[in-house]
Amino acid sequence: MSSLCSSAIRTSALPVSPVLMPGSADVLIALEQSEVLRTGFLDLLRPEGIILLATTRIVPTGLAGSDYPDEQLVDSALSPYRVVKADVLGKALQLGDPGRMANVVMLGLLSTVAPFDAFPEEHWLEALRRASPQQAIWAANHTAFNAGRHMESRVAR
């Protein structure tokens, strides 16, 4: 669909490669629906893993809306998996942000999902504060993170 942007976060008491091998991810996050259809994306998830899926649909420039994968195709591809759907962009817009903080809303949601829920909330907040120490940005990120932690999302399977 659009250009690929991928990040991996590995946590372990032992040194591990930052490269995800198939079947090794506890959680996969897609900030746009069609990302889950990328070749190999779903293969990264562990059998008991979970997918956090933003309900956002962004039709790439030059692609007809009718050529964009519909929700039924996405849901069909995800049918064997545990999925949490969340309107993180809508939540960011509701907070008065033009959408830049949707990823921080998703981060807040991630902080409630095992195994990441084992990290105390204050550790998440300290990491956010260090990433963006300017007071205005920190305040916006804090609000977005808390919105993600407390948002109602649709859980499938």
The predicted structure's pLDDT at residue 142: 95
Give 133's strand partners. Answer: none
The predicted structure's pLDDT at residue 21: 87
Tens-binned pLDDT, residue by residue, of the chain (157 aa): 445 566 666 666 666 777 788 998 999 999 999 999 999 999 999 999 999 999 998 888 888 888 889 989 999 999 999 999 999 999 999 999 988 899 999 999 999 998 999 999 999 999 999 998 899 999 999 999 999 999 866 544 4
Angle made by CA atoms 94, 97, 101, in degrees to the nearest 5: 100
In our burial notation (b when 16+ CB lie closer than 10 A, e otherwise), range 106-122 reads bbbbbbbbeebeeeeee
The predicted structure's pLDDT at residue 99: 81
Q: How many CA atoms lie within 13 A of 7 on its CB side?
A: 6
The predicted structure's pLDDT at residue 4: 54
CATH topology of domain 25-156: Pyruvate-ferredoxin Oxidoreductase; domain 3 (3.40.920)
Q: Can you give the length of the chain in residues?
A: 157
From 143, 6, 14, select the one nearest 135 (Cα to Cα): 143
The full 3-state SS of 124-136, as one line of letters, equals HHHHHHHHCCCHH
Asked whether the bond before 120 is cis by omega within 30 degrees of 0, the reply is: no
Q: Phi/psi at 98 (nearest 5 deg)? A: -75, 10
Q: Yes or no: say if 93 and 125 are a contact pair by the CB < 8 Å rule.
A: no
Q: What's the pTM?
A: 0.86
The predicted structure's pLDDT at residue 151: 86
